Chains A and B, each alone.
Chain A
Amino acid sequence: MAQIVEIRWHGRGGQGAKTAALLLADAALSLGKYIQAFPEYGPERMGAPVQAFNRLSDEPILVHCGITNPQIVAVLDQTLMASVDVAHGLPDSGQLIVNTSKTPQAIRQELGLKGAHIFTVDASAIAQDKIGRDIPNTPLLGALVKVTGLFDITMLLHDTEVKLKKKFASKPEIIKGNLEAIKTAYDTVQGKGKE
């Protein structure tokens, strides 16, 4: 069976978990990869816990069921961790990336998690600073690309620019802000996995 990377995104309705999954898939597609990006199926409610998923592979992806054991989990909102088991199904070798100002050690303690590699990045602060709004999904993408090494950051920046240009043709400052946010998160993500 082809090697498939599986990713789960946790966020709240409106934070852009689904968009993050779509942007990541789109960037991977530009690299010639096979992709899947899908939201947790069901009614969407602003503020409620939501999930989105990715599968990435060099070979065609045939499987069409949910993802229960992702290698990578990205958390867009740290307050979710009080009510959602964000590390569910994550193997000891897995990677957990959290949007928070806290350190990986602090998150490990909070979750009482023994296995997995934990990384943190203050994606909300970066988004406030660079985009002017707390939209942590694009900076978190930058952090994810850094810690997973899935692909080159310049590829992600280029692809996001192309994608956002279509959506925000009349607001170039949003595009610039997003690209800067991705780059900053890429540079400032904390954790080596074995804190």
Chain B
Amino acid sequence: MLSYRDVTKRYGNVVALKGVTLEFQPGKIHALLGPNGSGKSTLMKIALGLVKPDSGSVKVYDIDPLRDPIGARRLIGYVPEEVLIYESLTPSEWFSFVGSIYGMDKALLRERLDTLIRVFKMEEHMGKLGGELSLGNKRKVMLISALMKEPKVLILDEPFSGLDPEVARVLKEILRRKAEEGIVVFSTHILELAEAVADEITILHYGEVVARGPISELKGKKDLESYFMEVTGLSSELQELLKAL
């Protein structure tokens, strides 16, 4: 279980998270929705101990990432929104390094990588330098390095951006299978994607949870976009923006 209790985080005068209390259970795919700057990425980074909250507590299963971030990172496979990659290393060199950090067995590493490289269609790019890869392929490298150690918790920040439809379909299937045995949380701006992939949705707005639950319960008879606009109060703002065009 990944849980947040009354978590608050400020960057100077900006409140990124305001008393957020959440629980993500295994067995479901959780989508985090929210406008830019709503606190989605901060929430994810706190689980890895990359960002320390000003108050509140967090648990990744029985590990407190604020006290033991290294332990938390062992459990979590994380893909950030920004591309983090070594420009001068090939994907195979990077995967070798990551495998060593996790102390992965040779045979296991080879077996998992063979599968992931095939399903993400990276065979032809394994000998290229990171700087030579397209944006989509860079993201695939990050996804593979997060997935290769079979993490108990998968946290993905905008994982579908830059992926072609075929690979996006593969990723959806991977998330579905991972959710059967662990926790899967991903963020997205694309409401249709959340609707298609997630079992449960959490909507953040100005650092607060404004809606949470299974998609079917949340949207009722509306479509997800209308529901999202309503709970975030963006409907009227949108009307004004459209008028200004």
A and B interact: no
Interface positions of B (Cβ within 8 A of A): none
